[in-house]
């Protein structure tokens, strides 16, 4: 896959959708490489040139943030099935957050691979129905 990414990045008309998909598929591999090998940034960027693309920088930041948010209940040692909420903007205008003291709400769209995806269209943190933080300007 890395070779396929390299070839696609070198093209004058890049297939950004394919690059994004391949980069998502290799996220764990890249993370493992960083943790285990501790490569120089220059060497790592040579090996994964798509990371220099602005769209990939943003995508990686969102994936890391969402992975950290997904680990939050485990870290806090609290298990609440209502902590994570997903809603489809195509189906409902706003998510149902009534009687929800704390939640992380992810907006999924038609292009989102799954509701438990690490890169939803938008993510918001809600505390007592107050919108505290969002990962996108058009959050819930």
For 58-75, how does the pLDDT look when each residue is reduced to its tens digit (9 = 90+)?
Answer: 666 767 777 777 777 777
Of 66, 56, 64, 63, the closest CA to residue 104 belongs to 66
Tens digits of residue pLDDT in 28-56: 898 899 889 988 888 888 898 888 776 66
Q: What's this model's pTM, rounded to 2 decimal places?
A: 0.44
More confident residue, 137 or 109: 109
- Of the pLDDT bands very low, low, confident and very high (cuts 50, 70, 90), residue 140 is very low
> Can you give the pLDDT at residue 37?
92
User: What secondary structure, in 3-state letters, does the chain show?
Assistant: CHHHHHHHHHCCCCCHHHHHHHHHHCHHHHHHHHHHHCCCHHHHHHHCHHHHCHHHHHHHHHHHHHHHHHHHHHHHCCCCCCCEEEEECCCCCCCCCCCCCEEEEEEECCCCCCCCCCCCCEEEEEECCEEEEECCCCCC
3-class SS of residue 133: strand
> Can you give the pLDDT at residue 46?
87
Determine contact, residues 121/108, Cβ cutoff 8 Å: yes
């Amino acid at each position: 896959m890395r070779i396929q990414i390299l070839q696609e990045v070198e093209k004058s008309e890049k297939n950004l959708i394919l690059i994004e998909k391949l980069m998502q598929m290799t996220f764990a591999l890249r993370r493992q490489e960083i943790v285990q090998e501790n490569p120089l940034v220059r060497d790592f960027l040579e090996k994964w040139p798509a990371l220099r693309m602005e769209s990939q920088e943003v995508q990686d930041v969102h994936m890391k943030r969402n992975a950290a948010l997904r680990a939050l209940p485990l870290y806090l040692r609290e298990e609440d099935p209502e902590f994570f909420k997903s809603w489809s903007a195509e189906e409902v205008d706003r998510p149902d957050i009534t009687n929800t003291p704390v939640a992380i709400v992810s907006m999924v769209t038609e292009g989102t691979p799954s509701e438990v995806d690490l890169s939803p269209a938008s993510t918001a943190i809600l505390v007592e129905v107050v919108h505290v933080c969002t990962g996108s300007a058009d959050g819930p």
